[in-house]
Structure 1
Amino acid sequence: MDPTMLTACPVCDALHRDQEVPPHRTARCARCGTVLAAPRSGAMTRITMLAATALILMIAAVLFPFLELSAQGLSQRASVLDAVLAFSTGLMAPLSLAVAFLIVLLPAARYLAILYALAPMALGWHPARHAIAAFRWAERIKPWAMAEIFIIGVAVALVKVAGLARVELGPAFWAFAALVVVTIIKDNYICRPTVWKTLEERSRS
């Protein structure tokens, strides 16, 4: 049998015939039950729109006020950018760079890479040059794009700070919360085997 007509389960490496799966149907591994393909009609368009929405929300989350603390007549408003710059000197500079890199730069770069790889196909065009490499890079940095970890950490911190000062959530907080929801929906909507197959087929045509 031609090896190009086979696909391996990413979990248990069981080999299966590489067949077309109708939209809204699911192909699972016969050995361990892992989902091998779950194509959906209009998936490229939806993924592209969600990635663009996430990128816009990321810009809003960085630029707008994140929260305001008030205690004993004093008030302090801060954005995510202010939090990054607050530790940009001295021994805390590496922490500042890590926050900027993992919470802002990597997620934004991942959204841009997904848009670069999939947006032309969503419009019915051929994939952009190096689209396969861009999507592969976006998948590799996924574990390091930690915007959702940041919002969980902020929620825990707010619980502790709320007893010491009055906390008002700014528009950037809600933009970040919406960003996490959109990112989760986008990642769950991507059928990676289908995306890879589509990229390879359209790159050859």
Structure 2
Amino acid sequence: MARVPNPDLGDLRGLIACPRCDLLHHTQQLSDGERAKCARCGSLLIWPRTGAFLHVVAFSFTGMILMIGAIFFPFLKISAQGLSHESSIFGVAMAFSDGWIAPLALAVLAMIVALPVFRFAALIYTLWPLANGRPAYRHSTTVFRLVEELQPWAMAEIFIIGTAVALVKVAGLASVSLGPAFWAFCVLIIVIALKNSFMSNWTIWDAISQK
């Protein structure tokens, strides 16, 4: 495990900024299994792993399938006093599609579905040629930059956590049955966590610039 020191700022080439404290460091090539940490706060900066690109592509493809399926499959069913209602994510969004709250439907679909799917597709576009030892596709730099910039707005994980909290309160008032879409979102959280464990942004940027 390596800690990269604070550099001389006379030459800005080959520098990496800590994502937490913004301390600049000189980059260096690490062997598989080694990690570079920030000298100030200890945040991970570089952690190359063998086959990481292919793993990220596989998890991204899996995430896309889960997300697309979760849109239309039933999410949950609520029953109370002999009445029941079953709905999907798409159905919930469409319920807000009329009148002045129509932008809410777009926001729901964009942040919960569209942005995560786009990020998965963008990662596949960026890493597929690199995983196969070929030059990066055209505009890979722009596409991967979008992946990083849109990360705070892709809220699939936040949605399922918020839903779980809400269901705890609703369960006392009605009978709640969880549908396949709910479990697809739960699996999606695990897939995203596994994907992130293989991602080293600096390694990806370095591979894009060299190919």
The equivalent residue for 2:175 is 166
Range that drifts further, 22-31 or 168-177 = 22-31
CA-to-aligned-CA distance 1:17-43 (integer Å, 9 cap, x gap): 332111111112223322221111110
How big is the shift at 1:12? Answer: 4.2
Match of 1:97 among 101, 106, 110: 106
Partner SS for 1:4: coil
Are 2:196 and 1:187 aligned?
Answer: yes
In structure 2, the gaps of 5 or more residues are 1-9
Structure 1: which 4+ aligned runs deviate by more than 3 Å? 5-17
TM-score, length-scaled by structure 1: 0.92
- What's 2:66 paired with? 57
2:75 and 2:69 map into 1 onto residues whose CA distance is 10
> Could you tell me how far apart the structure 2 residues matched to 1:81 and 1:36 are?
38
Alignment of structure 1 residues 8-157 onto 2, 5 Å = 8-157=17-166
Q: Structure 1: which 5+ runs fail to align?
A: none
| Cα 1:78/1:4, change in 2 over 3 Å | same
Q: Structure 2 length normalisation: TM-score?
A: 0.89
Count, aligned residues: 202
| Amino acid aligned to 1:83 | V
More helix by share: 1
Q: Distance in 1 between matches of 2:84 and 2:21?
A: 56
Q: CA deviation at 1:65?
A: 0.7
The amino acid that maps onto 2:83 is L
CA gap of 1:187–1:164, structure 2 versus 1, over 3 A, is: same
Q: What is the rounded CA distance, in whole Å, between the counterparts of 2:79 and 2:131 in structure 1?
A: 47
Percent of matched pairs sharing the same residue:
50
1:14 is displaced (CA, Å) by 4.0
